Structure 1
Amino acid sequence: MNLATFCTTWVDDNARRLMAESIDKNIVDKDEYPQTAELERRCVRMLADLWHAPGPARTLGTSTTGSSEAAMLGGLAAKFRWRAGGGTGTPNLVCGPVQVCWEKFARYFDVELRQVPLRGDRYTLHPDDLATYCDDNTIAVVPTFGQTFTGLYEDVAAISAGLDQLHAAGGPDIPIHVDAASGGFLAPFTAPDLVWDFRLPRVKSINASGHKTGLAPLGVGWAIWREAADLPPELIFDVDYLGGHMPTFNLNFSRPGGQAIAQYYEFIRLGRIGYTRVQSAIHLVAEHFAKGISGLGPFELIHGGQPKHGIAAVSWRLAADAEYSLYDVSDHLRSRGWLIAAYPLPADRQDETIMRAVFRHGFTLDMVDLLLADIRRGLDQLTRNPRRTPMTRAEVGGFTHDATPTVPLPSHRRAP
């Protein structure tokens, strides 16, 4: 019933066993646990192939503790490539609305974060924004392939074409890092003709979260580079005090190998056909909900869960004046056990509040109908008994765009 989180909330018994049996396997100790290292390498090759790297067998990549670490590794590689190419001064990164990990990267590693504000009716980064924000110190443009706020895909192909035009006109030659935290495990199966990955030569690296739409347990992300030359050797450290010479290029060091092993288990258990079926089913559920929510109340869809437009999530806003706010709707749903976030949009559109429901493996059409019935019941109650003033964000307490509520459910609504 938690539709605020993007993360895996259901794990099968075999994956649980693998996690338990791997709790003592240190994934960084490749000499002591060579088979764990081999499973990680296989996952990297599979993802390189899934995302159309030119030579999957030669592509470099790594598992991480999550997509945030993977994003930071991609950003660091871009910064080191820029510096090796003669870059001086303060580097900058150009993006649209992003998850907080990019704000952390910019602050921790002394990079200027140039977030393009939302303009007019825009919810994503557009190619015509690039010329204004990019310059010789831009280490990369970061399109978000599965935006945290709305669930929409930013148009990576159009952004790449825009950077091509900028370079052809005498501007800098700027690479792309794709933040595919959520979309990287969806689009290859549900919208395979959508070009966003290494099929675009300008895309040098991709990060994705295995514990979101990758169906793996919490604690695994992936960073993949287009070619070995795109990962600067200065970022790779050779460690010899664990029993053998082994390269490492993670921000973390020792960590359990179970998450990567469980990811490999899902890859070989489901395969391409299985992932296509599972992910298509999730999108079907999202579209069913979108159809229902568009017929309730004064709501306007922002993203309806369509595979070519974004992840399996639905986002909407109030399209007309009402005697209640989306925070009121969210609060009522919480009283029924549903956790659905309501929050303001980022810079230049913070006066607009939206709601977003993220659908994951295991959510069924029957559950959608139950949710819609509770929304309908809540809207009827709010219409019959309006508050003197609609609820505000501060009164809700706990909801943010990238976190689940901190307020616990009533004991009688908690899942067993």
Structure 2
Amino acid sequence: MPSANGDSTRNHLAVNPVFTAEPAHIPRNTLPGDGLAPDVAYQVVHDELMLDGNARLNLATFVTTWMEPTAEKLMAECFDKNMIDKDEYPRTATLEHRCTRMLGDLWHAPPADDVTGCSTTGSSEACMLAGLALKRRWQHARRAAGLPADRPNLVMGINVQVCWEKFANYFDVEPRLVPMQGERFHLDAEQAAAHCDENTIGVVAVLGSTFDGSYEPVADICAALDRLEAERGWNVPVHVDGASGAMVAPFCDPGLVWDFRLPRVASINTSGHKYGLVYPGVGWVVWRDAAALPEDLVFRVNYLGGDMPTFALNFSRPGAQVVAQYYTFLRLGFEGFRRVQQTCRDVATSLAERIGELGPFRLLTKGDELPVFVFALRDDVTGYSVFDVSAHLRESGWLVPAYTFPAHRTDLAVLRVVVRNGMTHDLADLFLDDLRLAVERLSRQAKPLRGAESASFAHGASAHHA
């Protein structure tokens, strides 16, 4: 029988009698008294992992699920390198630095002797670092003006990834979460400015919402904050959470102004392990310039007899993902990234259009910003729910999240499809066939069998959101 955490209540793992040296019993929750032969240990672990979902058919995750064998080989060669040991692994440190320079160039950072940025374990850590820089800059400015600095707040849409609520909780910042309203599913310029005051350390603008794949209007938000500064004197910086979009927009939307070309943008983060096309986990954060990252947050370490600044929440972590990021930048170049991301968008928009033509669904987004789209059931479909659709697709191997939107649109339940590198037009055809079959079967139901309580996907949103 399974326990509450999903594991078996049996005290021992069962091993088939295929090996010549297997023990009769392997303890499940305590260390074995003796070691196992490598092939036995491998088979035990391998067999249990067969019950995981197929990562390539996981349309819930934004995280990269396919890389070239050459990239995997390079990562394997670097698994033993600790990213923090920059003096022992100077070339790995150099590759990290090159990546931040490439990203600074891609995001139009102002010309400087060097780019201020670093790698992280993912966008969550990158967001925490960016938030800390915003808070510390605000505190310095307030204290220099002889004003209290004990009630900082951060303005963001309720659609932000849960890491921002964690940041607010862990670092004593009031989160000002702007709720959704009507057909507005993310933060807009008017609401961003309306929620600011003299204690606002910054506004988070999301370039690619996890809820529906849409871009928040970064330029409009900056313009509204420019007007606010002119009227009230509050200089509110913007951090762009580009976990996904910062590696899509530069290639697919070159005319969209969202990055350091906007003077109010102080920092940008992205996930190398999302549309940066690298296995988890690696993230990146880049600041506009050295002044945007307060010096008292930076630690100095001896690096090749010189001074190496470091700013991170994490310490030891593998260098393999950073090396893989550099490999991917070299391997694809600008044009290669453009082809990959544009193909993802083409697959997403084509699939979204065909789903909209099936009959029972209505599209909320079309996959023409992030290659991500969401769709809901039409009001006249009453015999089944989006949660029923998700469960039926799972029977065919497809992992498609069904969830409700946050306040004030908890009435809206949707399905979301994330198209990543490796999701081809052919796979999209197969998905559409299975979706059509699921709809045919579900249409014979008299009433929904599953509701929001059956949702198993949080997709980065906190519990009271999803």
1:243 to partner: Cα distance: 7.9
Cα root mean square deviation, aligned: 1.5
Q: Is residue 106 of structure 2 the alignment partner of residue 44 of structure 1?
A: no
Preserved contact between residue 45 and residue 57 of structure 1 (Cα < 8 Å): no
Task: Note the 1:241-320 alignment, pairs <5 A.
Answer: 245-306=307-368, 310-320=369-379
Question: Structure 1 residues 235-244 or 180-189, which shifts more?
Answer: 235-244
1:89 to partner: Cα distance: 2.2
Partner of residue 284 from structure 2, selected from 222, 230, 254? 222
What does residue 399 of structure 1 align with? 457
Q: Which secondary structure state, in structure 2, belongs to the residue aligned with residue 161 of structure 1?
A: helix
Q: 2-side partners of 1:401 and 1:30: how far apart? A: 34
Preserved contact between residue 385 and residue 448 of structure 2 (Cα < 8 Å): no
Q: Which secondary structure state, in structure 1, belongs to the residue aligned with residue 443 of structure 2?
A: helix
Q: 1-side partners of 2:197 and 2:110: how far apart? A: 28
Deviations 1:181-227 (A, max 9, x none): 00010010011111110010000000100000000111100000011
What does residue 365 of structure 1 align with? 425
Q: 2-side partners of 1:274 and 1:315: how far apart? A: 27
1:316 to partner: Cα distance: 1.1
Q: 1-side partners of 2:392 and 2:342: how far apart? A: 30
Preserved contact between residue 151 and residue 311 of structure 1 (Cα < 8 Å): yes
Looking at CA atoms only, which structure, 1 or 2, has the larger radius of gyration?
2
Partner of residue 207 from structure 1, selected from 252, 265, 269? 269
What does residue 152 of structure 2 align with? 91
Letter in 2 for 1:233: E
What does residue 21 of structure 2 align with? none
What does residue 413 of structure 1 align with? none
Q: Is residue 207 of structure 2 the alignment partner of residue 151 of structure 1?
A: no
Deviations 1:264-287 (A, max 9, x none): 000011100111111111111001
What does residue 126 of structure 2 align with? 70
Partner of residue 400 from structure 2, selected from 316, 337, 340? 340
* Structure 2: stretches of 5+ with no match in the other structure: 1-56, 143-147, 462-466
Partner of residue 3 from structure 1, selected from 59, 64, 73? 59
Q: 2-side partners of 1:274 and 1:324: how far apart? A: 42
Q: 2-side partners of 1:302 and 1:363: how far apart? A: 21
Would the alpha carbon gap of residues 57 and 3 (structure 1) be closer, same or farther in structure 2, given more than 3 Å must change?
farther
1:130 to partner: Cα distance: 2.6
Question: Structure 1 residues 319-328 or 203-212, which shifts more?
Answer: 319-328
Preserved contact between residue 344 and residue 354 of structure 1 (Cα < 8 Å): yes
Q: Which secondary structure state, in structure 1, belongs to the residue aligned with residue 84 of structure 2?
A: coil
Identical pairs, percent? 55
Q: 2-side partners of 1:216 and 1:301: how far apart? A: 30
Preserved contact between residue 208 and residue 370 of structure 2 (Cα < 8 Å): yes
Question: Structure 1 residues 11-20 or 96-105, which shifts more?
Answer: 11-20
Question: Structure 1 residues 235-244 or 21-30, which shifts more?
Answer: 235-244
Preserved contact between residue 328 and residue 390 of structure 1 (Cα < 8 Å): yes
Would the alpha carbon gap of residues 112 and 211 (structure 1) be closer, same or farther in structure 2, given more than 3 Å must change?
same
Deviations 1:135-159 (A, max 9, x none): 0110010011010111110000010
Q: Which secondary structure state, in structure 2, belongs to the residue aligned with residue 40 of structure 1?
A: helix
What does residue 380 of structure 2 align with? 321
